[in-house]
Amino acid sequence: MGSLLAVRSLLLPLALLLQSVGSQAQLKFRMNPLEKRDVRPSDKVQLQCETLSSSSTGCSWLRLAPGKVVPTFLLFISSTSSNAKLAEDLDPKRFRGERISSSTYRLTLQNFREEDEGYYYCVVTRNSALFFSPFVPVFLPVKATTTPAPKPKTTILPATISTSTQISENCKLTAKKQGKKGLDFSCDLYIWVPLAGVCVVLFLALITTITICQRSRKRVCRCPRPLIRPGGKAGPSERYA
């Protein structure tokens, strides 16, 4: 018996998904309430589905959980009996279905929980066709999130500016805040020491270059070339060399 009910509870959602809904406009529904997004934990929730045309043969309530594709069958309310048939895994103390009139069906949910959130809707049958009602969102209130404190504004200097320039700018800002006209001694050191170091390096490089040039010039031979007279005889400079 239990296996038969399990098979029915699985086949009903599958049948609801496979049925054509192209003729849904022929049957109108009135849902009460249209949505319920202020449910508190442990509250009692009542949803009502009413068909505005001819009477149907019964009503099934389903729930589509957030992020899911396949709905969950909850219960079936017959048009001839006041007793509702619940899904096998539902607690009859929390879920109850009842027929208010020949075209009005009510779903009552006791002790609402977070796992009960979702989109509820009903399905009725008429002339061997299934008709789906609009969704009724039932959710707990959205939890208020604390707004993070704004981050302090920081001045971002371009990457092309050197470190000494950044320090100089920071020193000027510090001097302005303190009401000073000039920079303090520490700021002067940060500015002039790097500049003096660069000048010393350039001066040493210049001296090294001059020294190398002078040594190269001394190695060049400056001896006079021998004089050749007409007739093929070398001059005195070549004879006594």
- Rounded distance, CA 112 to CA 204, Å? 86
List the domain range (segments joined by +) for residue 88: 8-19+26-138
Q: Are 95 and 198 members of one domain?
A: no
- Residue-wise pLDDT for 138-160, tens only, equals 999 887 665 666 665 555 544 44
Q: Are 80 and 115 members of one domain?
A: yes
Q: Is-contact 99 77, C-beta < 8 A?
A: yes
User: Can you give the length of the chain in residues?
Assistant: 241
Q: Once rounded to an integer, what is the mean pLDDT over residues 12-36? A: 65
- Residue-wise pLDDT for 155-177, tens only, equals 554 444 445 555 556 656 655 55
Q: Are 34 and 97 members of one domain?
A: yes
Q: Are 14 and 124 members of one domain?
A: yes
Q: Are 188 and 75 members of one domain?
A: no
* CATH number of 121's domain: 2.60.40.10
The token pair at 194 is: 């790097």
- Residue-wise pLDDT for 180-202, tens only, equals 555 455 556 656 777 777 888 88
- Residue-wise pLDDT for 224-239, tens only, equals 555 555 665 555 544 4
Task: Assign 3-class secondary structure to 142-166.
Answer: CCCCCCCCCCCCCCCCCCCCCHHHH
